[in-house]
Amino acid sequence: MRVLGIESSCDDTGVAIYDSNAGLLSQALHSQIVVHQEYGGVVPELASRDHIKWVVSLVKKVLQEANLAVNDVDAIAYTAGPGLIGALLVGACFAKSFAWALKKPAIAIHHLEAHILAAKLDNPHLDYPFLALLVSGGHTQLILARALNDYQLLGDTLDDAVGEAFDKTAKLMGLPYPGGAALSQLADDCPEALKNKLPPFPRPMTQKPGLNFSFSGLKTHALVLWHKIKERERAPSMIAHAFQEAIVETLVMKCKRALEQTHVNNLVVAGGVGANRLLRSSITAMGVKMGKTICFPRHEYCTDNGAMVAYAGCLHYLDGRDDEEQSIVVKPRWALSK
Ligand code: KG4
Ligand code: ZN
């Protein structure tokens, strides 16, 4: 069976077609970075309008690339939440109307579940139960995935999400939105001799038991330091390096703790920050030490994309689920665990 997936929860319009036998047939993505860059963050109304502008042409493109007619698609999956209400409504209205016109089922997908399941796109044999570290612009969570549709939230951020902390720290040093990847590049490029010149950033909430996170203090720490040392040569690189080290070490410590507590053997790292090089190498090293299997979606499946929605839709449809509701419902806030 073939599922058309539509992602529009934030600032990327992602569309893809997944075939349960042949795998991913085609995918297309339109990023809104240029639309939001001059405002330094996502402007929800502009995001909705841009999704409207792009969704139909992207659907045509993926159908054409997969050499399919509209009726060759068996179901239409769409991100129903969490996310920006207007942006979600664009994808949901399009998907439900299209499904209704074609007399095919529509399947509402949870954005965070799609991020987690993206790891299975390249690793279909990844077995439940597994642990997921979900690190994106809006979320930082440790989740125990017991089965499709059965998730337990083990840890969450009390304030900023990790991607948000990256973006805000990048912004205070004058990097353009969204600065996460650029900040990480600055950190990776920090000359060896300057790497440990700054006093280390704190590793928040690692002294206390538990699996929750807090990253807003690191951002404030970076701000104070920036005002102190910004005239120094390579100051952004030094701050980026110390900041990234603190974030990554904190995430690794919490993952280790969660693996020890749950005794599961597989860890998935999902969401946009999963593209971070230091995070990938540090978690991989931790996995080797602990004898655990670590699974990263490839970079293009870490950030928002249509493939993860089409794939999640396919798994749910094969599991017997479809939207019975005719009405169009989106959930800007939507907990993944029951
Ligand atoms: O999952 P995603 O595409 O969108 C959300 O659902 O939030 O994640 C986007 C986030 C942004 O905050 C972006 O700056 C961050 O992921 N990000 C990175 C890197 N690449 C993307 N953060 C750190 N290092 C990276 N290499
Ligand atoms: Zn996302």
Among 71, 68, 60, residue whose Cα is nearest residue 15: 60
Please list every protein residue whose CB sits less than 6 Å from any atom of ligand 1.
10, 136-138, 163, 166-167, 178, 180-181, 184, 271-273, 275-276, 303-304
Instruction: Render pLDDT for 29-43 as a digit per residue (tens, 0 to 9).
Output: 999 999 999 998 999
pTM tops 0.85: yes
pLDDT for 213: 98
Q: Separation of 258 CA from ligand 2 center, angstroms?
A: 22
Helix (H) / strand (E) containing 244:
helix 235-262
Query: Dihedral sign, CA of 28, 162, 240, 254?
Result: negative
Q: Separation of 160 CA from ligand 1 center, angstroms?
A: 13
How many whole angstroms separate alpha carbon 189 and alpha carbon 162?
Answer: 21
Phi-psi region of 180 (alpha: psi -120 to 50; beta: other; left: phi over 0): alpha
**Percent with pLDDT over 90 in the chain:** 94
Omega of the bond prior to 202 within 30 degrees of 0, cis? Answer: no
Instruction: Render pLDDT for 48-80 as a digit per residue (tens, 0 to 9).
Output: 999 999 999 999 999 999 999 999 999 999 999
How many whole angstroms separate alpha carbon 304 and alpha carbon 307?
Answer: 9
Pocket test for ligand 1, best of 115, 134, 160, 273 (most atoms within 8 A of CB): 273
pLDDT for 326: 79
